[in-house]
């Protein structure tokens, strides 16, 4: 589905922006396959502690996992971070070059600040590893920890769900996550509903 959308977008751009009106979109008449079902993999506390503990031997992996679990940032956003994007005085992180094109500011947790302060080097990237390299290291970690059906992106899902469970509102989580619409956040609503049920019961 994503490949077909990409091809279609290329031909639409060529026709509409480059003036190549004679081009025919080769996938214009193709019925798109259904999108993949959204994942709802959550981590329990034991799994979280295992990931954090076992990753300490690989500092960049340990740091990336902490970023994902504590800030809800996307993998690409984490890997593109520079030390210059950190404001230690105000305990904030400037997230640039995001998926939706808008910069955003999110809080820096104490754990992340503790890990980064000793290594601070202005105008240097925090991570010096590719996305495929991080994925490979994460898969090795998952295998060593004997965890099933866990992807790095699930850590972002876990973070956003935990934000709801901590009592943050939809607009507040949307501000942290970088989603353009509330509808895009609804995949995490099961965690939000848990908090609602708790409040109703009380």
Is residue 99 annotated as a catalytic residue, yes or no? yes
Is residue 153 annotated as a catalytic residue, yes or no? yes
- Both structure tokens of 5: 């959308």
- Give the C-alpha separation, 161 to 189, whole Å: 8
- Annotated catalytic residue within 153, 180, 190, 198: 153
- Both structure tokens of 58: 């690989």
- Annotated catalytic residue within 62, 74, 157, 192: 74
Is residue 74 annotated as a catalytic residue, yes or no? yes
Order of strands across the sheet that contains 104-107: 86-87, 92-95, 104-107
- Give the C-alpha separation, 43 to 36, whole Å: 21
- Annotated catalytic residue within 42, 99, 117, 197: 99
Radius of gyration for the alpha carbons in the chain, expressed in angstroms and rounded:
20
Phi, psi of 129 (to 5 degrees): -145, 150
Closest CA to 145 of 63, 67, 55: 55
Q: Count of alpha carbons within 13 Å of 76, Cβ hemisphere only?
A: 6
- Catalytic residue numbers read 74, 99, 153, 156, 179, 188
């Amino acid at each position: 589905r994503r490949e077909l959308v990409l091809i279609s977008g290329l031909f639409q751009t060529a026709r509409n922006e480059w003036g190549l009106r004679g081009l025919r979109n080769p996938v214009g008449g193709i019925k798109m396959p259904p999108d993949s079902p959204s994942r709802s993999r959550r981590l329990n506390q034991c799994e979280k502690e295992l990931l954090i503990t076992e990753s300490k031997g690989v500092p960049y992996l340990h740091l990336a996992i902490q970023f994902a679990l504590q800030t809800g940032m996307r993998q690409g956003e984490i890997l593109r971070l520079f030390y210059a994007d950190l404001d230690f005085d105000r305990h904030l992180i400037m997230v640039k070059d995001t998926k939706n094109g808008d910069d955003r500011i999110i809080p820096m947790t104490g754990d992340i600040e503790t890990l980064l302060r000793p290594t601070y080097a202005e105008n240097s990237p925090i991570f010096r590893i590719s996305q495929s390299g991080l994925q490979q290291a994460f898969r090795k970690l998952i295998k060593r920890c004997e965890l099933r059906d866990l992807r790095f992106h699930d850590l972002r899902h876990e973070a956003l769900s935990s934000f709801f469970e901590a009592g943050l509102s939809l607009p507040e989580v949307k501000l942290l996550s970088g989603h353009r619409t509330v509808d895009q956040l609804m995949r995490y609503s099961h965690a939000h509903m848990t908090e609602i049920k708790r409040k109703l019961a009380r």
